[in-house]
């Protein structure tokens, strides 16, 4: 298959900084869309992957799965997009399309494993997939999203992961007017969870370790901020929430949050992957029919639904635009929770 060499930014090993490198993109197949990348959001998963926090990273790795760009070429079988369209690509670029999950528009739970935008398997070239910290990407049109044109395209890019990852549980657990939702952690995912839950009509509380984020959280739409390290504040919301979205990326004690769920309430983990420590106490679950659940990103139809909702309600991410060359500093700042509230790379800087 024909390929094109393009510029990208990636990591050569778990402990090396990200730097410029060349990668190949396949030429368009009949169902493919070629996209010039304008903006790419910086997700904490990019950092986890670059540093091999979860194991399994194939090097070199090019992160980035919050992509917004312009269509530059389409295959002759493409029906949904044309050259010049403003489009998005999130965390998925392929799946089997035939299993029970795929048939239900739940490509993220593909029983044969979805293809991640990075660190997945590029079946045409038989190598790892490379993400959005790059000039261009070629994606099957099924996995390409329409971006509402009334929104700032840079501020839309984080919706492609942070937005859909929080939207999907809000919809699955039927959040609406009268729901009491709490969000743990005010970062990229957390700030989108507040905006989207608020947009759906819920009463929203933020749990944060950072006293300094209180005013911002209220500006973003939170009705209440609870400092999670303050036991009295935690007690004040015991038994309150229908749904808690926990976005914390590292191991932490979830038992104090379970105590704040109401009867039938659910705490959904979207941040930390791994074993819990301290262990989860089953008594409050049993005595209150409470659930602890997990959720990964969202399907393509649901992602389009979220983008359309954001277009209609003028919802975008709060962003800080950076150059590609600033990515290593951005990762260090992300580790210190010093992001308001998503870094977005202006991909034009890659040409500098």
- Of 113-152, binders to Zn ion (CB under 5 A) are none
Location of structure tokens 């809000």: 170
Choose, by CB under 6 A, the member of 39, 252, 315, 327 that binds ligand NAP.
252
Pure H helices in the chain:
44-50, 100-103, 153-156, 162-172, 188-199, 214-220, 231-235, 255-258, 283-288, 300-313, 327-335
- Name residues whose C-beta falls within 8 Å of residue 339's C-beta, 6 or more positions apart in sequence: 187, 188, 320, 330, 333
Pick the closest to residue 186 from 157, 164, 208, 163 (CA basis): 208
Written as six digits, the tokens of 295 are 């959720």
Nearer to Zn ion, 52 or 73 (CB): 52
Closest CB to ligand NAP belongs to which residue?
187
Residue 195 burial (CB count, 10 A): 24
Q: By three-state DSSP, how is residue 126 classified? A: coil
Nearer to Zn ion, 74 or 189 (CB): 189
By CB under 5 A, is residue 273 in contact with Zn ion?
no
By CB under 5 A, is residue 168 in contact with Zn ion?
no
Query: Residue 271 touches which of ligand NAP, Zn ion, none (CB < 5 to 8 A by kind)?
Result: ligand NAP
Choose, by CB under 5 A, the member of 18, 28, 33, 43 that binds Zn ion.
43
Choose, by CB under 6 A, the member of 60, 64, 90, 188 that binds ligand NAP.
188
Choose, by CB under 6 A, the member of 33, 139, 170, 189 that binds ligand NAP.
189
Smallest separation, CB 335 to ligand NAP (Å)? 8
CA gap 137, 33 in Å, rounded: 8
In the complex, the residues that contact ligand NAP under the rule CB under 6 A are 43-45, 48, 161-162, 165, 185-190, 208-210, 213, 247-250, 252, 270-271, 295-297, 334, 337, 339
């Amino acid at each position: 298959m024909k390929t094109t060499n393009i510029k990208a930014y990636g990591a050569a090993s778990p402990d090396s900084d990200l730097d410029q490198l060349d990668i190949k993109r396949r030429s368009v197949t009949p169902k493919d869309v070629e996209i010039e990348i304008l903006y790419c959001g910086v997700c904490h998963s990019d950092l986890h992957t670059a540093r091999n926090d979860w194991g399994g990273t194939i090097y070199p790795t090019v992160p980035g799965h919050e992509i917004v760009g312009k269509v530059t070429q389409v295959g002759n079988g493409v029906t949904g997009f044309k050259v010049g369209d403003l489009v998005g690509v999130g965390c998925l670029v392929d799946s089997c399309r035939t299993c029970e999950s795929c048939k239900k528009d739940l490509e993220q739970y593909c029983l044969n494993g979805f293809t991640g935008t990075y660190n997945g398997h590029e079946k045409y070239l038989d190598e790892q997939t490379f993400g959005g910290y790059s000039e261009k990407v070629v994606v099957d049109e099924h996995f390409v999203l329409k971006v509402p044109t009334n929104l700032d395209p840079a501020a839309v890019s984080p919706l492609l992961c942070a937005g859909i990852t929080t939207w999907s549980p809000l919809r699955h657990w039927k959040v609406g007017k009268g729901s009491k939702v709490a969000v743990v952690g005010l970062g990229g995912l957390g700030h989108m969870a507040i905006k989207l839950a608020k947009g759906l009509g819920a009463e929203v509380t933020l749990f944060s370790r950072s006293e300094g984020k209180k005013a911002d959280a209220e500006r973003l739409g939170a009705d209440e901020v609870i400092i999670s390290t303050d036991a009295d504040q935690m007690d004040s919301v015991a038994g309150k929430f229908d749904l808690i979205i926990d976005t914390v990326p590292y191991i932490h004690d979830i038992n104090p949050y379970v105590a704040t769920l109401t009867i039938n309430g659910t705490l959904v983990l979207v941040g930390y992957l791994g074993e819990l420590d301290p262990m989860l106490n089953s008594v409050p679950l049993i005595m209150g029919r409470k659930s602890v659940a997990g959720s990964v990103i969202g399907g393509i139809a649901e992602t389009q639904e979220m983008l359309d909702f954001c277009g209609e309600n003028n919802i975008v991410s709060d962003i800080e635009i950076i150059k590609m060359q600033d990515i290593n500093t951005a990762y260090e700042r992300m580790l210190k929770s010093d992001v308001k509230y998503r870094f977005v790379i202006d991909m034009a800087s890659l040409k500098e």
